Amino acid sequence: MELIENIVLQALQMLVVLTLAPGLTGLVRKIKARLTRRRGASVLQPYRDLARLMRKEVVLAENASWLFRVSPYMIFAATWVAAALVPTFAIGLHFSWTADLIAIVALLGSARFFIALAGMDVGTSAAATHVAAKIR
Amino acid sequence: MIGFAVTIALCLLALSLAATAMRGLSMASVAIYGSSALLCLALVLVGAGTLLTHADASGMRIPIGLPWLGSHLHLDALSAVFVTLLGVGGAAASAYAIGYGRHEHEPHRVLPFYPGFLGAMVLVLLAGDAFTFLLSWEIMSLLSWALVLTNHRADETRKAGYLYLVMAGLGTMLLLLAFGLLAGSGGGYDFAAIRAAKHSPALAALVLALMMLGAGSKAGLVPLHVWLPVAHPAAPSHVSALMSGVMTKVAVYGFMRVAFDLLGPVHWSMSVPVIVVGALTAVMGILFANVDGDGKRILAFSTIENIGVIFTALGLALAFRSSDMPVLAALALTAGLLHAMNHMLFKSLLFMVAGAVLNATGRRDLDELGGLIHRMPKTAFLALIGVMAITALPPLNGFVSEWLLFQAVLQSPKLPQPGLQFLVPAVGGLLALAAALAAACFVRFFGVIFLGRPRSDVARDAVETDRWSLAAMGGLALLCVLAGILPGFLIDLMAPAVDLAVGARVPVQGGNSWFTLIPVAEVRSSYSGFLVMVFVAISGGAVAWLVHRLASRRLRRAPAWDCGFPNADPVTQYGAGSFAQPIRRVMAPLLGARETVTMPPPGDMSAARHGVQTEDMAWRFCYQPMIAAVFYATTRLNALQFLTIRRYLTLVFGSLILLLTGLTIWN
């Protein structure tokens, strides 16, 4: 019973993080815009962007391999798990003992790692240059 | 157990002799590698069996060798851990070689030495007296030297072989001195006698320094590493895997045997050089790996880094032990042993990948490869696992050992010595730097070889490697994943060895829920690779399913966006050199990198040239002065070649008196 409660709470926590994350991006953008005396897009804009992107087709470079298709999910999963390990509204969950701060850093590092590989996959100089700047 | 282990070692040595007899037989290669693989599997059974049954140390004495000593052989928990490591590494390398060996032009240059090399390594681990240890060590060095020289027609290889021989000779000489000091003038070369004897602090310091130099030269500690990045890649890839994955660990074993077992308790200040040299080795090794352009050499440099990490862990264990904190010492030592095991797994895997790529394309230079993920998808997948493991990404095995080491580093404020309290966090910073650089290095390694577009015709026409090689690599990759998600079992397995070395062990991990790793009760951190794996799999899978289910499933292939420069040549891709350049510039003084640009005079149409030279600083500051000193000494001593008989006799008599006086003073 306790285990089920734990799992439910953990899932709720993960969902809260997930649903709030685009809002936070929107908020940051809004504040940035206001600070530079622009009106800026609505706070909800990232949600709309995501919904739009979901409906769009996937465009793959001719040279892209399976790694390019898998990477986004790996990046997402690693970041999400890292976020799930940070307590937001519930503390003392069994799963918060899964890993510590070092592991969270390493999980975010994994996300970086896959971004870098995805950037190199297509084989154009521009993408890889950005990647190289990113991993340092 | 010991009898079984010795039999296996002798079988391996006998296999070497059989290989010389089987020269010319077509099936020789399969027979030799196949039986080596089986014997190595038997070794795993011996090693793991000894550890699992908590068997007491067992020893035996063979009446060969020095007449008053014989050969003592001895199998305890510490040996058993390394015997297991050797067995796994050897079995994988031998299975790989069954496929890889078919491509060999001159198999009889490898076959007679290969099983003997394995056998000699087993004997080093089983040695129960200094004589057997040094003899096996020297056989191991010589046979690996012969294996390095397999491709002896290349000029580079001959140079590498010479350098290796000199360094190996130097290393053995230093070990001989170390054991000589340990045994004392009484000549108690038996390990049991050495252990029982009392060693003064000054002598212990000297022995530890000699071991650092002797075993460190084999393991690749800076600045004794110069031979490693030339010799390891020169050998055939399965031998490179053994040398990097296993032989360096045998050197680590040698150091551990003396530092933790034979020497007894040492002063805390002895741990400082081990920690400092280990951390510097880690950073320097990975810096060089970041700027090198040769796939196998990158792996060899990364071996230097990992050896640095292992020695840092050993140094920390020495520090904790000398301050009477056995549990924390056990934590650091477990991290070191686990990292040794993990490094064997992923480094062997990556060397095999490099070998498969070398077979498929004939190229080692990263800038001539690219796009192999399309041509060699299975190898690429296994390489990705190896690369993720070596960059210490959770939930794979490299992360577990580095995590444990960081837990030990974070406990350093508990040490009573202010010096160490300052030093160890700084070392932790260096280790973090090394880990970050390793990530950059292996993104570059994997990205340039497997991703992008092929940079040469051979890379475009590469074909997937053979089944034996794939099976060996697959086995290692599986072990990397298993050791990452279930590290508790490995830690429990190693616990008797840790107990033997520092007199304590980390708590039993087997019963923890969700396979969580709880290293020490006082360390309030825990990590469960299993749960991280489950989390990543569930969240990644769920999202992939949702996106495919709910979102658009249309897919269009299109030419990659070329930033307005169409038909770009594949060589314009971001390559190995491009990744290396910023690091090389920033770290130029450390790496000894010089860039030269030669511009043609105005009006001349010839191309401008941009060249880069890197020079290992160890050469300039360590080896060149040493070589100069040796030359100076030999020219001076040359006069001794032209003496009269009277003077020779005087010389002999004088040196006899001198030595006897020295002996009297020492006693």
Please tell me the distance from the alpha carbon of residue B587 to that of residue B382, in angstroms, as a whole number: 32
Write out the two tokens for B399: 């992360």
Rounded to an integer, what distance in angstroms lies between the CA atom of residue B535 and that of residue A95?
A: 10
* Residue of chain B nearest A80, judged by CA positions: B539
What DSSP character marks residue A58?
E
- Strand A58-61 to strand B555-558: parallel, antiparallel, or no bridges (unpaired)? parallel
Residue of A nearest to B549 (CA): A54
A104 part of contact set with chain B, CB < 8 Å: no
* Residue B386, in any domain of the structure: yes
Contacts of B576 (CB under 8 A, 6+ apart): B293, B366, B367, B444, B448
> How many residues in chain A?
136
Predicted ipTM? 0.91
Distance CA B326, CA B60 (A): 31
Q: How far is A31 from chain B (nearest CA, A)?
A: 30
Contact of A124 with chain B, judged by CB distance below 8 Å, is answered with yes
Asked whether residue B487 is domain-assigned, the answer is: yes
CA distance to A135, B67, B156, B429, B437, per residue, from B441 (Å) = 10, 52, 24, 18, 6
Contact B452 A77 (CB under 8 A): no
Q: Which domain holds residue B653?
A: 620-666
Residue A45 has a pLDDT of 94
Question: How confident is residue A134, by pLDDT bands cut at 50, 70 and 90?
Answer: low
Q: Which residues of B touch A106 (CB under 8 A)?
A: 392-394, 399, 403
| Neighboring chain B residues of A110 at a CB cutoff of 8 Å | 388, 393-394
**Could you count the other beta carbons within 10 Å of the beta carbon of residue B303?**
27
Question: Is the same domain home to B577 and B636?
Answer: no
Residues B211-256 pLDDT 10s: 999 999 999 998 888 899 999 999 999 999 999 999 999 999 999 9
Residue predicted with more confidence, B312 or B520: B312
A78, closest residue in chain B (CA to CA): B536
In the prediction, which pLDDT does B596 show?
A: 87
Asked whether residue A94 carries a pLDDT value surpassing 70, the answer given is no
Q: Do B512 and B628 reside in the same domain of the chain?
A: no
Closest CA to A99 of B395, B411, B232: B395
> How many Å separate Cα B408 from the centre of its chain?
22
DSSP string, B529-581: HHHHHHHHHHHHHHHHHHHHHHS---EEEEPPP-TT-TT--GGGS--HHHHHH
For residue B547, CA distances in Å to A18, A23, A51, B140, B544 come to 15, 20, 11, 56, 5
Helix, strand, or coil here: B257? helix
Highest mean pLDDT among A1-10, B241-250, B532-541: B241-250
Task: Please return the burial class of B279, using the count of CB atoms within 10 Å of its CB with bins 0-12, 13-18 and 19+.
Answer: buried
Residues A65, B451: C-beta atoms closer than 8 Å: yes
Does A126 lie at the interface with B, CB-CB under 8 angstroms?
yes
Copy the structure tokens of residue A52: 């739009």
Same domain membership, residue B401 and residue B299: yes
User: Does B552 contact A58 at a Cβ distance shorter than 8 Å?
Assistant: yes
Number of H helices, E strands in chain B: 27, 5
Q: Nearest by CB to A110, from B374, B394, B555: name it.
A: B394
Determine the pLDDT at residue B56: 78
- Say whether residue A7 is in contact with chain B using an 8 A CB cutoff: no
Look at residue B562 in the predicted model and tell me its pLDDT: 72
pLDDT digits (tens, 9 = 90+) for B153-193: 888 899 999 999 999 999 999 999 999 988 877 777 888 88
Cβ neighbors of B11 (< 8 A, separation 6 or more) are: B39, B119
The full 3-state SS of B567-622, as one line of letters, equals: CCCHHHCCCHHHHHHHHHHHCHHHHCEEEEEECCCCCCCCCCEEEEEECCHHHHHH
Torsion of CA B52, B55, B61, B62, to 10 degrees: -30
Do B624 and B522 share a domain, yes or no? no
**d(C-alpha B426, C-alpha A117), whole Å:** 31
- Asked if B453 and A63 come within 8 Å (Cβ–Cβ), the reply is yes
Contact B573 A14 (CB under 8 A): no
Mutate: best of B403, B512, B532, partner A, most A CBs <10 A:
B532
Q: Mean pLDDT over residues B512-530, rounded?
A: 74
As a whole number, mean pLDDT of residues A82-103 equals 77
Cβ-defined contact of B443 to A113 (cutoff 8 Å): yes
Instruction: Give yes or no for residue B567 having a pLDDT over 70.
Output: no
Q: Which residue of B has its CA nearest to A56?
A: B552
Please tell me whether residues B576 and B648 are part of one structural domain: no
pLDDT at B412: 86
Residues B521, B631, single domain; the answer is no
The string of pLDDT tens digits covering residues B408-438 is: 998 888 888 888 889 999 999 999 999 999 9
* Cα of B639 to nearest chain A Cα, Å: 58
Cα separation, B470 vs B473, in Å, equals: 5
Query: Is-contact B24 B70, C-beta < 8 A?
Result: no
Contact check, Cβ <8 Å, A81/B557: no
User: What percent of chain B stands above pLDDT 90?
Assistant: 51
Residue B93, classified by CB atoms within 10 Å of its CB into exposed (0-12), middle (13-18) or buried (19+), is: buried
Which positions 11-40 of A are in contact with B (Cβ < 8 Å)? 14
pLDDT given at position A28: 95
Structure tokens at B353: 């990948």
- Kindly determine whether residue B451 and residue A84, on different chains, have CB atoms separated by under 8 Å: no
Q: In a 10 Å sphere around its CB, with 0-12 CB exposed, 13-18 middle and 19+ buried, how is residue B460 labelled?
A: middle
> What distance in Å separates residue A21's CA from the closest CA in chain B?
15
Q: What is the Cα–Cα distance from B337 to B247, expressed in whole angstroms?
A: 14
Tell me what pLDDT residue B353 has: 95
**Which residues from chain B sit within 8 angstroms of residue A117, using beta carbons?**
443, 446-447, 451
Pair B329, B411: CB distance under 8 Å: no
Looking at chain B, how many residues does it have? 667
What pLDDT does residue B413 have? 86
Give pLDDT, residue B436. 92
What are the extents of the domains in chain A? 1-56, 60-136
**Selected residue with higher pLDDT from A8 and A24:** A24
Query: Are B521 and B647 part of one and the same domain?
Result: no
With the C-alpha atoms ordered B198, B202, B206, B209, is the resulting torsion angle positive or negative?
A: positive
Q: How far apart are the first and last CA of chain B?
A: 40
Q: Give the distance from CA B207 to its chain's centroid.
A: 23
- Whether residues B639 and B577 fall in one domain: no
User: Is there a domain that residue B505 lies in?
Assistant: yes
Mean of per-residue pLDDT scores for chain B: 89
Question: pLDDT: is B26 or B250 the higher one?
Answer: B250
Q: What's the pLDDT at B642? A: 87
B603: left (phi over 0), alpha (psi -120 to 50) or beta: left
Nearest C-alpha of chain A: how many angstroms from B250? 30
Specify whether B454 is located in the same domain as B386.
Answer: yes
How many Å apart are CA B437 and CA B580, to the nearest integer?
A: 11
Residue pointed to by tokens 């794939």: B470
- Which residue is closest to A99 within chain B, CA to CA? B527
Query: Quick check: B4 pLDDT over 80?
Result: yes
Residue written as token pair 């052989």: B73
Which of A14, A123, A136 lies closest to B570 in CB terms? A123
User: Rounded to a whole number, what is the distance in Å from the CA of A91 to chain B's nearest CA?
Assistant: 15
B390 contacts on A by Cβ (under 8 Å): none
Q: How many independent structural domains does chain B possess?
A: 2
Q: Is the pLDDT of residue A135 over 70?
A: no
pLDDT at residue B342, rounded to an integer: 95
How far is the C-alpha of A109 from the C-alpha of B97, rounded, in Å? 35
- Judged against a pLDDT cut of 70, whether residue B504 lies above it is answered with yes
Residue B55 half-sphere exposure toward CB, CA atoms < 13 A: 20
CB-based contact (8 Å) between A117 and chain B? Answer: yes
Contact B527 A74 (CB under 8 A): no
| Span B618-664, pLDDT tens digits | 888 888 898 999 999 999 999 888 888 999 999 999 999 999 999 88
List helix spans (H) across B53-152.
77-100, 114-126, 130-148
With an 8 Å Cβ cutoff, are B439 and A67 in contact?
Answer: no
Residue-wise pLDDT for A45-77, tens only, equals: 999 999 998 888 888 888 889 999 899 999 999
Beta strands, E only, A14-128: 58-61
- Mark yes or no for CB contact B443/A129 under 8 Å: no
The least confident of B5-19, B510-524, B566-580, B649-663 is B510-524
For residue B501, give the 3-state DSSP assignment: helix
* pLDDT, average across residues A99-122: 88
Q: How far is A59 from chain B (nearest CA, A)?
A: 5
